[in-house]
Amino acid sequence: MSADGYVSQIERVLSSAVSIFPDPSNSVEWVGFARPTIEAGPGGGGRLAEALDQSHAEYARMTAEAEVVHAAIRDAAQSAADSARQAAQDMSGIRDAAHSQGSAIMPSEDLANAEPHDLKLLVETMDSKLEAAQNVIASTRDQFEQAAARLRARL
């Protein structure tokens, strides 16, 4: 196996890690909360008018509560989308750095003929890139869990 082949294998693993996150160039489109308006009933008193006024007030209260929940869902989803977008960019950077650093350490030498210190540096460098990828995944998972906890607290 060549050094280039070893770096390619690491790059394949990191490319798989990049693919678990959405394309950072895609944006999220949010649907607004359309609050319908209900006109007040005809005046004139009476039980029917009172019941209509009570229903109107109850509907307005419930709609306001739904707007609060909608805003909480949107905030949590936006936070998760931002985290995923940043993770995708971070993962791409890690993959690209692994490729360029690996190629710089050992351009395409046969591993059997490589100097031990070069091999050690190559393996340590690739190990650090894999560790960085694991950290991005763990950090993103934590951010998703925090967003979910905020959402659960609002519901």
Per-residue pLDDT band at 108 (split at 50, 70, 90): low
Is 24 part of a structural domain of the chain? Answer: no
Per-residue pLDDT band at 33 (split at 50, 70, 90): low
Cβ pair 125, 7 in contact under 8 A: no
Is 83 part of a structural domain of the chain? Answer: yes
Range of the domain at 132: 3-14+45-154
- pLDDT, tens only, 52-103: 888 888 988 998 888 888 888 888 888 888 899 999 999 999 999 999 999 8
Is 22 part of a structural domain of the chain? Answer: no
1 membership: H or E segment, kind and range: none
Q: How many domains does the chain fold into?
A: 1
What pairs with residue 110 in β-bridges?
Answer: 2
Nearest of 144, 9, 150 to residue 87 by alpha carbon: 144
Is 35 part of a structural domain of the chain? Answer: no
Is 40 part of a structural domain of the chain? Answer: no
Per-residue pLDDT band at 114 (split at 50, 70, 90): confident
Per-residue pLDDT band at 119 (split at 50, 70, 90): confident
